Every structure is written in structure tokens, then in C-alpha cells.
Amino acid sequence: MERNNLKRIIFPRGFAVAIDDLGWNEGSNLSRCIPSGPHRAGVKRLFDLNDYTYVVEVGKAVGARIQSLFILSEMDRENVLAKYPTTTYQREKWNNKSRVSDKEFAIMAYVKEQAAFMEFGLHGTGHEYWAGDGIQRRAEWYNLIDRKPWPEHDLRTHIQGFTEIMAQYNITPQYGQSFPESFVPCAYSYYWNPKGEYSLGKLLTEAGVKYANTDFAQIPELSPPSETNGGGFDHGTHVINRMNYGNLWYELQSLPKVLVEMQSTDMVESHWVNWLAQDDFIQADVTTQWINYYKRFQRQEDRYIAKNTEQLHSQWLYRRYTQVTETHEGSVAIDNSEMPKEAYARDILGNMVLKIQLKKGEHVSSATLNGEIIPAYYEEEGFAFLYLPQLAPQKYELTYALGAQSMPVHIFHDGTYNLYAIRPKGSGLRIDLKMYGEQTVKIRCPRPETVAVLGRGLEMKSFVHDGAYLHVTVRALDMQGSRGDMKIQYATNVF
């Protein structure tokens, strides 16, 4: 239930797109072969590095880290899936040697390098499930044919197989890399059982997954959340509903066909081939269509483009559990006392985002939460976006003012990273952030004497002050993001 009484402040819904089925090397559907193989991408096509770059182009253009869900069986260089026969149609005879070359090294290196705009997420190993009779059954994570769960042991081997293929590309803790934090079940095969001893959420949480999305309508026998934009916690993993809005899984160059205003879920379904053109000479047009589709949501009064998956799920939780009331223009009461404990147990919760429509020449000239500077601020499409910190289960007061000048000290949030706090401290600033990939943080502040980044998995590449803004380029070593502090020091106390 959303209980909000708003004047100038807008409490928007987040928007994000999940892309299923990246990772295939070949696209043809093998489901009618003997033995029956995976459906794959449903197009006669060989995939290459360029097909990944188009997703990144969209992410860069719209300021979003796009959730990209991978199937890894055809990335398997060592045939490790032969040890886990339910993962492929060849079972114990699995042989993938003909499909791999140095091309896959280049692809996975690119995915790691572009972690600012492409999130490496878990979709599956082989997408389906193959029992001892060799018959393909839908789908990998839950038996949609017989409407019952697969054996827990088998699903653990599927996760293990995915992990071992990741290791073939040095995506391991030894190299500073974490397991994917996001997940989408193949063909909506989610075993929802939050009150039981065995559930898919339990296995996902143990592996390191925090966020999942699926179409709950496909598993009615499991009594999942019934609301269109519903969701809940399953043994620590936060799962929300999503819908397909008319772009079928096998359709090239296909965007959602339902009007933006009529789309009722925060997360929108898509598949990799939807983002790809029939031929390279029209790919630029398809990429532009996706960019324009995203920007429509930024222009909607009650929507905004979520920077990343953490922020999307956080906004979903705040809109579900938090009351926002603008008592008079410039003063906003926020009651977050009903936020469930599960939101804090695994750092599921991040920023709350509020929005203000601006008049020509108008900016937010000040904004504080309980007297402290808000972590970040952004302007686009005639709106101001206020990024508040992770809220504790308590009450807050947000105070803001509008004017001809923007805030004297703020972070202009034009990236896809997360900003949790900015604290003036004597002769300096301390910024708490989670970086994805390599990005530049834009900070309006006086010219500093020194800048340092503190935290395992973070490194500072450079910094420069242009007279108004400090630009600090930071790189996260973990493709799932690295958290730490940025310390900005001045010669004297300037606050």
C-alpha cells in the first residue's frame, strides 16, 4: 500500500529492463532435435562481441547499468557441465569444444570492463533441465511441466556449473570477483517457497544473489505475491514481479509494444535478440529506439530511470513501506518505520529517490535530510532528482529550497554508481559510495589539496578541478561493484 500526500515533491516508481539470454554463441532453437536441446535465442545467428556492445551503448546514453542475464553453457571451455548431466541435452557426453575460441575471452573481458553499464547476472547454465531419459523439460530452476520442484541437489549442481564456467574467465574471489547479485529464472521457472526449508531463494542467497525478478503469474500453484507490481523476500533474496509487454523472446529489433503509461511493473522483460538488428547496417537505428524508450520514463512525472538493480529494488521497497508527506512546500516528512528487517540483513536497501519538476531557470538550491546534506542530486528532462541515503526504520525530515543556483556542495549524479553519504568534516569531505566499473564522480566543491579513495577493491585513476566541479575517476575491481570512501582534503577549513 502506498500512503503519500505530496505537493511539489514526487515519489516516483523506478524503471529498469532485464535482458535474458546473453551468453549463447549460437542462436538456433534446438528444442525439436533428438535429443531435444535448448530453445536458445530462437534466431539463426552466431553471436559475437559486437552484440554485447549495443547494450552498453544504451546504458551509456541513458545513465543505467542494465541488468544482463547470462546463460553460460556455450562458454564452457573445459566441458565441466558433463559432471552435471541435468544441465545440458548431451548430459554426461557434453562436448562444447567446437563452439569456443579466443572470442569468448574477449567477450567476457569486455563484460568485466563495462560493468558500469552492463550488469553480469545469473540466468542459467543450459536454460532447461534434462533428466535421465534425456528429454528436455521446462525449465532449469523449477519443473513447470509437472508443477513441482527439481531436486535441491540438482539445482546446486547447476549453480556450481555456472560458477566453474565463470572461473574459466577468472571471475572468482581469487581475482577479486563476486558471484552475480541479480537473477532471472529461465522461462519463469522460479520455485517460490519462502516459508519452507527448501526454496530457490535459499539457494540463490547462499550463492550471493540479492535481487531477482520473474513473472509470478506463471507459478500460481506456489501462491506467489498476487499484485501486478508485487514482490517479497524469499530466504533473503528480494524477488519482484515483471511482465512482457509484447516483444516476444525470439523477435529481433523488438521493443515493448504497450504504452509507457500502461506498463504496471517497475521491471520490464526483454530478451537479447530484441536489442539486435537483422543486419549491422540498421543496428544504429535499433539502438536509438531503445535509448528513446528509456528516456520516455525519465520524462514521465511519476517514473525515473533506476541507475542500477540495487536502486530499482530499493525504490520498490520504499514505495511499498514508506510514507512521504510534504507538509508544506519545502518540508517533507518521511516515515520509514515499517521497513522490514530483511531489507537490511544483506544490504538489499540503498537510496530513496524523490523528484521535483523544475521551472525554467530553477534548481534545487539546498536539500538536507535531518540537517545533513543529501548524498546526490541530478537534473534531466526538466526534473530534479534527489538521492537520499539508505533510510533506517525511523522518521526523517527532508528540507529543500528552490532557486536560481544549485546547491553549493553536492554530487551531480550522472553515473550508474551508488552514493550513500557526503559529509563535510572540518577541512574536507567524506563520500561513501559503491562504484561499478570505471566512472567519474562529479562533485561541486572548492578546489581540494588532496583526494584519496579508501576501500578494498577501489582505485582512483585521476582527479581534476575545473573551477566549479571536482571530477574524480574511480575504478571498481569487482564487476559486481566495490564499496568504500572518497576522502577530499582542503588546505584549510572551508566549511
pLDDT by residue (tens digit) across 23-54? 999 999 999 998 899 999 999 999 999 999 99
Q: What is the pLDDT of residue 495?
A: 54
Average pLDDT over residues 121-130: 98
What's the whole-model pTM score? 0.96
Q: What is the pLDDT of residue 494?
A: 57
> What integer pLDDT is reported at residue 320 of this predicted model?
98
Predicted confidence band of residue 6 (pLDDT cuts 50, 70, 90): low
Per the rule left: phi > 0, alpha: psi between -120 and 50, beta: everything else, 120 is beta
pLDDT tens string 211-260: 999 999 999 999 999 999 999 999 999 999 999 999 999 999 999 999 99
**What average pLDDT does the structure give for the chain?**
96
Confidence of residue 134 (pLDDT cuts 50, 70, 90): confident
Asked if residues 415 and 478 have their Cβ atoms less than 8 Å apart, the reply is no
Residue 2, pLDDT above cutoff 80: no
Dist CA 446 CA 462 (whole Å): 17
pLDDT score recorded for residue 1: 37
Give me the mean pLDDT over the 327-354 stretch: 96
Q: What is the pLDDT of residues 402-442, one digit of tens each?
A: 999 999 999 999 999 999 999 988 789 999 999 999 999 99
The share of the chain scoring above pLDDT 70, in percent, equals 98
Give the angle subtended at the CA of 147 by the CAs of 142 and 153, to the nearest 5°: 40
Query: What cell numbers appear for 223 in the block?
Result: 501462491
Among 455, 448, 398, 460, which residue's Cα sits nearest to residue 432? Answer: 455
- Residue of 6, 59, 30 whose CA lies nearest to 416: 59
Judge whether residue 139 has pLDDT over 80: yes
Task: Compute the radius of gyration of the chain from its Cα atoms.
Answer: 23
Stretch 333-351: mean pLDDT: 97
Q: Are 272 and 312 in contact (CB under 8 A)?
A: no
User: Rounded to an integer, what is the distance from CA 139 to the centroid of its chain?
Assistant: 23
Q: Phi first, then psi: what are they for 489, rounded to 5°?
A: -120, 135
Q: What is the mean pLDDT of residues 54-71?
A: 98
What's the mean pLDDT in 358-381? 96
CA 427 to CA 488: how far, in whole Å? 9
Find where cell 531557470 sits: 361
pLDDT bin (cut points 50, 70, 90) of residue 492 is confident
Tell me: the pLDDT tens digits for 285-320? 999 999 999 999 999 999 999 999 999 999 999 999
pLDDT at 425: 80
Q: Stretch 180-189: mean pLDDT, rounded?
A: 98
What mean pLDDT comes out for the span 369-398? 97
**CA 82 vs CA 22, 87, 88, 374, 414: distances in Å:** 21, 8, 8, 52, 45
Task: For residue 16, name the pLDDT band (cuts at 50, 70, 90).
Answer: very high
Task: Name beta bridge partners: 435.
Answer: 482
Across 200-212, average pLDDT:
98
For the chain, the domains span 15-305, 417-495
Pairing of strands 136-137, 129-130: antiparallel
Select from 395, 326, 409 the least CA-distant residue to 365. Answer: 409
Average pLDDT over residues 160-178: 98
Long-range residue pairs from 447-451, CB within 8 A, at least 24 positions apart, any chain: 447/490, 448/488, 448/489, 448/490, 449/489, 449/490, 449/491, 450/487, 450/488, 450/489, 451/486, 451/487, 451/488, 451/489
| Three-point CA angle 268, 126, 100, nearest 5° | 110
* pLDDT on residue 3: 44
Q: What are phi and psi of 38, to 5 degrees?
A: -75, 160
Type of residue numbered 30: L
Q: What is the largest CA-CA distance in the chain?
A: 75
Q: What is the distance in angstroms between the CA of the first residue and the CA of the last residue of the chain?
A: 42
Q: How confident is the model at residue 35, as a pLDDT?
A: 86
Cβ atoms of residues 180 and 205 within 8 Å: no
- Note the CATH architecture for domain 15-305: Alpha-Beta Barrel (3.20)
